[in-house]
Amino acid sequence: MIRKITPEELESQRPFTENIRRLYAQRKGDTPPLAFVRTFGCQQNVSDSEHIKGMLYDMGFAFTEEPEKADFILFNTCAVREHASDRAFGNVGALKRLKKERPDVLIAVCGCMVQQEHVAHKFRESYPFVGLVFGTHVIHRFPELMHEALIKGKQITVIPKEDGVIAEGIPVCRDSAFKAWIPIMYGCNNFCTYCVVPHVRGRERSRSPQLIVEEARQLVEAGYKEIALLGQNVNSYGKGEEHGVNFSELLRRINALPGDFTIRFMTSHPKDATHELFDTIAACKKVSRHFHLPFQSGNDRVLKAMNRGYTREQYLDLIRYARSVIPEISFTSDVIVGFPGETREEFEDTLRLVDEVGFTSLFTFIYSPRVGTPAATLPDPIAPDEKVAWLKELTALQEKKSGERLKQLVGTVQRALLENAADGYLEARLPENSVVRVAGDPSLVGRYATVRVNDARSWIMNGEICEIE
């Protein structure tokens, strides 16, 4: 069952927040305690961390990038692939010495990884210096859990098995002053056979459209230029809810807000991407002309074994329809190489699809077996070396396609948002989500400008600012 956290439940956290504030004031006097928060994985985790930072801020914490200086250290982990899990274990393990030198430091681990039984067990058995381990469904109780860990001084583990919660009103400390993440739904019901997400993030549940639109309105009023709507499958927003607002309608309502801003969203599932959605994007000028639409494999047998719910042809039909109504739209995607039992011929279907569609960029992954998922029990005869060779082939093809696509942009003049600054250069993000490197002062970050694209290589475009808005 999905539970809505009541305002009273959230309010019951307040005394713990105050107690923690007092406790650190006793320890540190007027110097604010410092927190180090490291996030692995997807934007949902980034958004969760922003909310945990909001609660830490309320407790009086300031933030540091150096774990050695921190009083509280948190790793928000990812379970999607082995590599991300290994890195989290490595990072946490490296803190054993720090905890010995400074026993007052509280080390905590949260996120998708610890929501898995065997991982929580490993933290209990092999990482006793970690003081707090908590799952994805109890973030709203963070002050209470942190308080318990501080008082008890031994490892606290809280990983309830439930379908998920919706908690409104948790404070948030956003990483950027011009780009904001807004979660619109949580969890996933798709159960792709390779994927751990439905097992660690619970069932699909959507936030109320009124609260989402209000949050977007406030952010735009506060000067945010980009609103990114988050969900594992944003296209199924509103399913099963009484309000009857689907994702297209939500986009229309946010698009209708006054102000100069861009709406992005991720991630879309092809089986739920409708013509209505593409028609809506065509009509809504504030919605980005970029669509991240993971296809995972270009072969029908593999797609079926993955339980993706669409065929190669249906995927290509979607791309064709989208381009017929939004000619300037750009596509990016996710691909898995070496799904158990995938043959060379089947992998070649993936190569052909990449060649045919012409994605702006691709996120390519070698299949990683996940405990508890059906695919992890399938025979997997292809040697790891061969999978690496296939991946290289795929990335080489994509590099060529990206180069071709970016070359088409050379000479164009477009409106772009000026983002990260380094070494006298800024990254100017075009509406279709590609980035142009332009010379500019760091003070311009967060402003819109018209930029001219002067040249393009496989991944990088260089250009210049024509006019700042």
Q: Cβ of residue 402: shortest distance to ligand SF4, in angstroms? A: 23
Q: Quick one: what does residue 166 bind among ligand SF4, ligand SAH, none, with the CB cut-off 5 to 8 Å set by partner type?
A: none
- Please identify which residue in 20, 188, 245, 266 interacts with ligand SF4, judged by CB under 6 A: 188
132 in Cβ contact with 109 (< 8 Å): yes
Q: Cβ of residue 115: shortest distance to ligand SAH, in angstroms? A: 15
Instruction: Give the nearest residue (CB) to ligand SAH.
Output: 334
Q: Is 47 in the site for ligand SF4 (CB under 6 A)?
A: no
Contacts of 372 (CB under 8 A, 6+ apart): 116, 196, 199
Interface contacts to ligand SAH, rule CB under 6 A: 80-81, 194-195, 197, 232-233, 267, 269, 294, 296, 334, 336, 365, 367-368, 370
- Please identify which residue in 225, 264, 269, 429 interacts with ligand SF4, judged by CB under 6 A: 269
Q: Quick one: what does residue 365 bind among ligand SF4, ligand SAH, none, with the CB cut-off 5 to 8 Å set by partner type?
A: ligand SAH
Taking alpha carbons only, the member of 310, 319, 320, 382 closest to residue 346 is 382
Taking alpha carbons only, the member of 111, 78, 294, 114 closest to residue 190 is 294
Q: Quick one: what does residue 60 bind among ligand SAH, ligand SF4, none, with the CB cut-off 5 to 8 Å set by partner type?
A: none
Q: Cβ of residue 452: shortest distance to ligand SAH, in angstroms? A: 34
Q: Cβ of residue 64: shortest distance to ligand SF4, in angstroms? A: 32
Alpha helices in 311-435 (DSSP H): 312-325, 344-357, 384-409
**Token pair for 424:** 């006298």
Q: Quick one: what does residue 13 bind among ligand SF4, ligand SAH, none, with the CB cut-off 5 to 8 Å set by partner type?
A: none
Q: Quick one: what does residue 237 bind among ligand SAH, ligand SF4, none, with the CB cut-off 5 to 8 Å set by partner type?
A: none
Q: Is 84 in the site for ligand SF4 (CB under 6 A)?
A: no
Q: Cβ of residue 235: shortest distance to ligand SF4, in angstroms? A: 10
Q: Is 119 in the site for ligand SF4 (CB under 6 A)?
A: no
d(CA 67, CA 36): 6
Taking alpha carbons only, the member of 467, 435, 433, 461 closest to residue 449 is 467
What number of other Cβ atoms are within 10 A of residue 377's Cβ?
Answer: 11
d(CA 158, CA 146): 11
Of 81 and 401, CB closest to ligand SAH: 81
336 Ramachandran zone, left/alpha/beta (phi>0; psi -120 to 50)? beta
**Token pair for 374:** 């059906």
How many residues of this chain bind ligand SF4 (CB under 6 A)?
10
d(CA 409, CA 424): 23
Residues near ligand SF4, by CB under 6 A: 188, 190-192, 195, 197-198, 232-233, 269
